[in-house]
């Protein structure tokens, strides 16, 4: 799918916390990817369609340095990444083998990839930070991916941090981690997310002015009427 510049701009002003609330009201509870923490503090909120990659447990005959030259390798997968995508990598939560290092991340930057998100870890952390590629992961480790994982493919449904991610689902990542917006719910989040942000900003202002929480958060009928009046 193509995600319009307008949609990206709208979602870049909607927090992951708000998105989880909006989708919870639609019955979606499992959209926050566990273990996806910003590698560098202060990374700005980013939005993009998911480009999926998948690892499975290491198998000694497959997870070798020679596999890096295989047609099915992380190197080949990176060359298939379209500009503006967010690479979402299923590393099975393994935290003692870095899936990508500085060289691969540098190539992703050259290809115009928006960010890397994984429930695993990266390696060469100083170099990765030096590439400028925004990364959300569960930390870093010195060993390479083949020390604990076997890469098996890209462009298929994966699980990342316990969340089912399909290619081209929309991903939003900020200081709270990464969340997924299923394609079927994008229009709903675009419509409801900004309003949720406006409403909560109004509530925060009320709290700062001394208002008590009962009847304010959540709003009772009187508070809803006062809030509605501010939008006229």
Known binding residues are: 101-104, 123-124
Distance between CA atoms of residues 49 and 112, nearest Å: 13
Among residues 193, 170, 181, the alpha carbon closest in space to that of 15 is found at 193
Q: Which residues on neighbouring strands pair with residue 90, listed in sequence order?
A: 54
The annotated binding site for Mg(2+) is made up of 124
Distance between CA atoms of residues 134 and 174, nearest Å: 10
Distance between CA atoms of residues 46 and 9, nearest Å: 10
The annotated binding site for substrate is made up of 101-104, 123
Q: What is the DSSP letter of 98?
A: B
Query: Which phi and psi (to 5°) does residue 160 adopt?
Result: -130, 120
Q: Which helix (H) or strand (E) holds 117?
A: strand 115-118
Q: What is the DSSP letter of 44?
A: P
């Amino acid at each position: 799918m193509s995600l319009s510049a307008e949609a990206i701009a709208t979602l870049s002003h909607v927090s992951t916390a708000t998105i989880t609330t909006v989708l919870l009201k639609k019955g979606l509870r499992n959209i926050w990817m566990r273990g996806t923490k910003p590698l560098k503090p202060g990374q700005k909120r980013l939005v993009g369609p998911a480009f999926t990659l998948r690892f499975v447990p290491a198998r000694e005959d497959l997870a070798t340095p020679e596999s890096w030259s295989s047609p099915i390798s992380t190197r080949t997968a990176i060359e298939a990444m379209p500009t503006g995508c967010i690479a979402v990598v299923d590393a099975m939560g393994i935290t003692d083998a870095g899936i990508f290092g500085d060289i691969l991340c540098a190539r992703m930057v050259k290809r115009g990839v928006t960010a890397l998100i994984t429930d695993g870890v990266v390696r060469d952390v100083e170099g990765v930070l030096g590439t400028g590629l925004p990364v959300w992961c569960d930390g870093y480790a010195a060993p390479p991916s083949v020390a604990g994982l076997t890469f098996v493919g890209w462009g298929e449904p994966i699980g990342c941090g316990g969340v089912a991610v399909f290619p081209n689902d929309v991903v939003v990542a900020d200081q709270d981690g990464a969340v997924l917006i299923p394609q079927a719910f994008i229009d709903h989040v675009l419509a409801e997310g900004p309003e949720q942000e406006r409403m909560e900003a109004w509530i925060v202002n009320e709290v700062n002015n001394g208002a008590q929480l009962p009847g304010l958060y959540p709003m009772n009928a009187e508070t809803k009427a006062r809030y509605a009046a501010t939008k006229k």
